Amino acid sequence: MKHKPLREQIIVITGASSGIGLATARMAAERGARVVLAARSEDVLAKVADELGDRVAYLRADVGRREDVQAIADKAIATFGGFDTWVNVAGLTVYGPLREIAYEDHERLIQTNLWGTVNGSLVAVEHLRQRGGALINVGSVASDLAFPFQGLYATSKHAVKGFTDTLRMELIAEGAPVSVTLVKPTSIDTPLPQRARNYMDREPTLPPPIYPPEEVANAILHAAVHPQRDIFVGGAGKLFVMGKEFAPGAYDELAPAIIALQKRSERPRDPQGALHVPQKAGSERGDPPVPVMRTSAYTRATLHPLATASVITGLAATAALLLSRKPRRRGAV
C-alpha cells in the first residue's frame, strides 16, 4: 500500500505541544503537508500554529476523552475537508515502584497512553475507511520490554501494541484501504522525564543511548507515505528486544542497572509533573545529562527494505554474542 505524497496530505497529530508530536508537526509542515494539531496546552498550540502559518489548524483536546478526540476529527473535516494520516503521539509516564504509585496516577496514565490511542485510532479509522490513508501509533521500545520504575508506562505500551496489531488484522480482514504502523522509539531526547509524575528520590532521566526526536518524526512521516508494520527508532532498542527474546532471564537480571540508569544525581525538580495538569509544554527536547546521538543508522536503514535484512542479521549476531553467557548469580565468585 502506498499513500499520497506528503505535500498533498492532511495530517492529524495528537500530543503536538511537545516532544515527538511537536517535532513531527514542524517537519510535516516544512515538507508541505497541512496539519491539524491537538494537545491539552492550547496556548502552546496557538504559538506553533502562528509559527507554521495558515496550513495549520489546532484544537485543545484531552485524548482520554472520546468526545474530545471526535472533535479533533470534526475540526480536520471542517477546516481541510478531512485527513489522510492520523498520528497518535500523546503520552506521559510515571516513575517509581508500582506499589508506591497512587491509583489515580495509574488510572490517568492508562487513560492517556492507552485509551488516548484507542480513541484516536477508532475515530480515525471511521474516516479513513472511506478515503484511505494511514494510522500511525507511537508505542515504545517498552511495547516489547519491561522497565522497572516505569511499570505502568510499559504496561500501557504493551497494550498499545496489542490493540494496534489487532486493529491492523481486522482492517486487513475487511479489505479496508488503511495502513496501520506502530512506531517504537527507544530513549528520545524529549521533555518526557521532566513532565513525568515522579515518586523517586532523584530527578528522572532516560537510559542511554538517547536519540533526537527528529528521528522519530522522520520515521512517522515516512510511514505516512510508505507504510511499514513496525518501525524501531534507535538500533539500541532493537538490540535489547532481540537480546531479551534470546535470553529473557538475563534481561530480568538487569533490573538494578535499569533502575539506576533512570536516575540523575540531583533531587526531584517537580514531582507532580504534567500527568494531571498540562505544563512544561512547548519544547521538542529535554535536558539529558549525556550526549544525544545525531541519528539512528539502524532506523534510517530499515526505512529502505533492501537494507533491512542485512541490518537485522547483524543485530541478531550481536545480541546472541552479548547474551550467550548466563550472568553470574549474586554472591558467586
Cβ–Cβ contacts within 10 Å for residue 209, how many?
A: 16
Report the amino acid identity of residue 258.
Answer: I
Average pLDDT over residues 280-300: 95
Place of cell 549474586: 330
The runs of H, that is alpha helices, within the chain are 19-30, 42-52, 66-80, 103-113, 115-131, 151-174, 213-225, 235-246, 248-252, 255-261, 297-302, 305-323
Instruction: State what percent of residues in the chain have pLDDT above 90.
Output: 90
Predicted confidence band of residue 315 (pLDDT cuts 50, 70, 90): low
Q: Which residues pair with 133 in a beta bridge?
A: 178
Place of cell 488503511: 178
Per-residue model confidence as pLDDT tens digits over 300-313:
999 986 655 555 55
Predicted confidence band of residue 2 (pLDDT cuts 50, 70, 90): confident
The answer to whether residue 119 scores a pLDDT higher than 80 is: yes
Handedness of CA 101, 67, 217, 168 (dihedral sign): positive
Q: Distance (Å, rounded) from C-alpha 197 to C-alpha 54?
A: 35
pLDDT at position 304: 83
The answer to whether residue 160 scores a pLDDT higher than 90 is: yes
The answer to whether residue 330 scores a pLDDT higher than 50 is: no
What distances in angstroms separate CA 241 from CA 113, 251, 281, one per listed residue?
21, 9, 31
Three-state SS for 65-130 is: CHHHHHHHHHHHHHHHCCCCEEEECCCCCEECCHHHCCHHHHHHHHHHHCHHHHHHHHHHHHHHHH
- Evaluate the omega torsion of the peptide bond into residue 212 and state whether it is cis, within 30 degrees of 0: no
Active site positions, annotated: 153
pLDDT at position 333: 34
- For residues 71 and 31, the answer to whether their CB atoms sit within 8 Å is no
Per-residue model confidence as pLDDT tens digits over 236-264:
999 999 999 999 999 999 999 999 999 99
Q: Distance (Å, rounded) from C-alpha 181 to C-alpha 133?
A: 11
**Domains of the chain by range and CATH?**
6-323 (3.40.50.720)
Average pLDDT over residues 200-214: 97
pTM for the full model?
0.91
C-alpha cell at 36: 491539524
Is residue 81 classed exposed, middle or buried when 0-12, 13-18 and 19+ CB atoms within 10 A define those classes? exposed
pLDDT at position 1: 78
What distances in angstroms separate CA 269 from CA 192, 193, 303, one per listed residue?
13, 11, 38
Q: Distance (Å, rounded) from C-alpha 156 to C-alpha 274?
A: 17
Lowest mean pLDDT among 133-137, 155-159, 196-200, 246-250: 246-250
Per-residue model confidence as pLDDT tens digits over 39-54:
999 999 999 999 999 9
Q: Distance (Å, rounded) from C-alpha 25 to C-alpha 40?
A: 15
Predicted confidence band of residue 331 (pLDDT cuts 50, 70, 90): very low
The CA-based angle 79-84-88, given to 5 degrees, is 95
Mean pLDDT over the full length of the chain: 93
